[in-house]
A and B are shown apart, each in its own frame.
Chain A
Amino acid sequence: MNPGSNSIDLTGKAVSSGIGIGPVTIINTKSTTVRPDKIDPDEVKTHLQKLRDSRNLLLSEYEILRDESHLQSAKDILEAQIQTLKDPEVKKRVQYKIESERLSVGYAIFSTLNEYIQLLESSGVQWANDRAVDIVAIRDEWIDVVSENRREFSMSKGDVIFAEEIPPALMVKISRIKVAAIVMEKGGDTSHAVILSQSLGIPCVINTHWNRYQVKEGMLVIVDGLDGHVIINPDDQQLTKYKKRREQDLSRVKESLKWAKKEHLTKCGKPYFLRANVEFLEELPKIATHGAKGIGLLRTETVLFETTEFDVKEQVEFYSNVLKTTEQESVTIRLFDAGGDKLINDKNSEANPFLGWRGVRMLLDEPQLLKKQLEALYRVSEDYKGRLKILVPMVSRLEEIRALKKVAKEVRAELKAKNVKFDPSIPIGIMVEVPSVVMMANKIAEYVDFFSIGTNDLTQYTLAVDRGNEKISALFDSYHPAIWRMIKMTKEAADNHNIPISVCGEMASKPEAAACLMGMGINDLSMNTSAIPNVKAVLCSHTMKELIELSDRVLEEDELKGIHNLFSKWKIKD
């Protein structure tokens, strides 16, 4: 295309808009050196845990790679690597070296695999010699993963991160630096890294494949998070063009931020509430700048993972921080919702985690965890009366609500016995994300204080589409007529029993969908803070009559295509 320049043009799937320009930083390619350091007896447990975690992490990455690979040879190599990770003898020996020889996990892996490598190399058989190379590769990669906690990635503000995939824990680290953009080889639309980059407004392109010999650290790169272009070594013309677009984007964001200051009222004066979905303290400042009314969904998985054994004091500190920052507004705190796509350090990996042991199912099985979290929430409530709400995830049966309320009652009794003051009337509501709850909504509404619809999971469970599966990602569409009807059913049930209802899924962050929800009478929406100004702009500039007209027409449609047509026409009109 452009023989005179040595720019490389890659394309991927755009998942978080904006233009990012900066130097390339490649993550996860350097191998770490390990030394035969002895560890203290009290470190053994941590090292064994690291061994399990690193093994599980690599296994899941390799299994995905294997399943996605079309080349049989690649599949075979990956299968062999997977078997190496699963090798019971390797596991036994590494564990022995940690437990009895007190070697660090990194060195234990290194020396165990080296024994095999030497045997293969000295076998005198060519194929065995060749395979030794693969074991070296996995050894290095495994050690890299194990050392990740200690190793600081050298990335700085303004860098463009290139990675195969970014595990949630690393993404958290990245979120603390203002990187210019993220380019990933893998990842799904709703993977942790993608959700976080949207929330932080970092341009992000996924499913991008690059040649590791061509793309080097420090090369200048342009990332277009709107159409998925990644240009390495751009020429001056391209640079000028994209810099200009970046300016325009920024001024558009600034423009839409003006809406953030406006009252939460439709054009005809009907009030609504746009709240923030929040997971990290780093996101809190955006609540004010983007005009959110408190927090509609506070995720607690990351913070609980960071505490030592879900320590109540550490939790109280986090919740107080959040409540302090949000002034007088309400904060809905979702109970620990690990499982599914979340990083869970559990030895039993499930074949189908999304249909597995997660949310309230797990909480009721782990009363210590649940009680600690409830205790922390009740303890915080005294200073912030009337502002907290407890949201229970992944409910699928009425019995779970009863059981959970019983535990809450026990926690309250224990606190009372200890003379701890708290707000006894914190509302307890549930996530509506499993179709069984929608079907039972009219009954369930008698037992809960509010509903919050999680549209991502509701879509996945209703349409039978795994949202992490790239092959069928096109089938994952929250605008499906069935979803709109389910939302309506839930809304009617909430109205019958006079309980509040909100939507906290990704759907609420799309201006046209938010308009439709508002038309359906749901005026409490929670979303990534970066989406709030745009949604607000649409809601502020329309009357209820227009919004109701839109939702009526959407609810009449029987096919997805019709709904998409309606929305695109509606957007143009706007």
Chain B
Amino acid sequence: MVRKKVVVKNESGLHARPASVLVKVASGFESEFTIKMYGYHVNGKSILGVMTLAAEFGSEMELILEGSDEEKALDTIVELFESKFKEEN
């Protein structure tokens, strides 16, 4: 199992489009993906779960991955947060 804390850098938060990108990318990995935020746990492959976090700019969350490709999955997903899900210029 690998875990890492990340911060939402998108100014409008983790809204529908980045959430959609996150779920799509995460679903491509075999590993289980859980997002922990203010005591909530959601399945990172569930679009509705991710959206209900309603994570705003600056929100901190922990990514937890477990499975055969956990390392690669974590790196890829962290990179998505870093690149603001490639949506803002």
Chain A contact residues, CB within 8 Å of chain B: 76, 79-80, 83-84, 86-90, 113, 116, 119-120, 123-125, 127-128, 131, 134-135
B6 within 8 A of A: no
Q: Determine the residue in chain A with the shortest Cβ distance to B42.
A: A89
Contact A123 B52 (CB under 8 A): yes
6 A-B pairs with the lowest CB-CB distances in the bound complex, closest first: A123-B54, A89-B46, A83-B47, A119-B52, A127-B15, A125-B54
> Digit string of B26-47 for contact with A (CB within 8 Å is 1, else 0)?
0100000000000000110111
Q: In the complex, what residues of B have CB within 8 A of residue A76's CB? A: 16-17, 20
Q: In the docked arrangement, what's the CA distance between A45 and B73, Å?
A: 36
Contact B13 A87 (CB under 8 A): no
Q: In the complex, what residues of A have CB within 8 A of residue B51's CB? A: 116, 120, 128, 131
Q: What are 29 A-B contacts with C-beta separation under 8 Å?
A: A76-B17, A76-B20, A79-B20, A80-B16, A80-B20, A83-B23, A83-B47, A87-B47, A87-B48, A88-B45, A88-B46, A89-B42, A89-B46, A90-B48, A116-B52, A119-B52, A120-B51, A123-B52, A123-B54, A125-B54, A125-B56, A127-B12, A127-B15, A128-B15, A128-B54, A131-B15, A131-B16, A134-B16, A135-B48
Q: In the docked arrangement, what's the CA distance between A88 and B52, Å?
A: 15
Contact A84 B48 (CB under 8 A): yes
Q: In the docked arrangement, what's the CA distance between A267 and B89, Å?
A: 74
Given A83-B47, A84-B48, A87-B46, do A120 and B54 touch, yes or no (CB 8 Å)?
A: yes
Q: Determine the residue in chain A with the shortest Cβ distance to B21.
A: A79
Contact B16 A127 (CB under 8 A): yes
**Quick one: which of B38-73 are within 8 Å of A by CB?**
42-43, 45-49, 51-52, 54, 56
Contact A127 B52 (CB under 8 A): no
Q: In the docked arrangement, what's the CA distance between A124 and B48, Å?
A: 16
Tally of B interface residues using CB under 8 Å: 20
> Digit string of B8-22 for contact with A (CB within 8 Å is 1, else 0)?
000011011100100
Q: In the docked arrangement, what's the CA distance between A135 and B48, Å?
A: 9
Q: Determine the residue in chain A with the shortest Cβ distance to B52.
A: A119
Q: In the complex, what residues of A have CB within 8 A of residue B27's CB? A: 86
Q: At the interface, is chain B mostly helix, strand, loop or mixed?
A: helix
Q: In the docked arrangement, what's the CA distance between A131 and B24, Å?
A: 18
Given A80-B20, A83-B23, A125-B13, do A116 and B48 touch, yes or no (CB 8 Å)?
A: yes
CB of B66 to closest CB in A, whole Å = 15
Contact A80 B47 (CB under 8 A): yes
Q: In the complex, what residues of A have CB within 8 A of residue B13's CB? A: 125, 127
Q: Determine the residue in chain A with the shortest Cβ distance to B45.
A: A88
Q: In the complex, what residues of B have CB within 8 A of residue A119's CB? A: 52
CB of A122 to closest CB in B, whole Å = 9
Q: Determine the residue in chain B with the shortest Cβ distance to A123.
A: B54
CB of B73 to closest CB in A, whole Å = 16
Given A127-B12, A127-B16, A131-B16, do A83 and B24 touch, yes or no (CB 8 Å)?
A: yes
Q: In the complex, what residues of B have CB within 8 A of residue A120's CB? A: 51-52, 54
CB of A433 to closest CB in B, whole Å = 35
Q: In the docked arrangement, what's the CA distance between A119 and B27, Å?
A: 23
Contact A83 B54 (CB under 8 A): no
Q: Determine the residue in chain A with the shortest Cβ distance to B54.
A: A123
CB of A73 to closest CB in B, whole Å = 10
Contact B46 A90 (CB under 8 A): yes
Q: In the complex, what residues of B have CB within 8 A of residue A123's CB? A: 52, 54
CB of A81 to closest CB in B, whole Å = 9
Q: In the docked arrangement, what's the CA distance between A63 and B73, Å?
A: 26
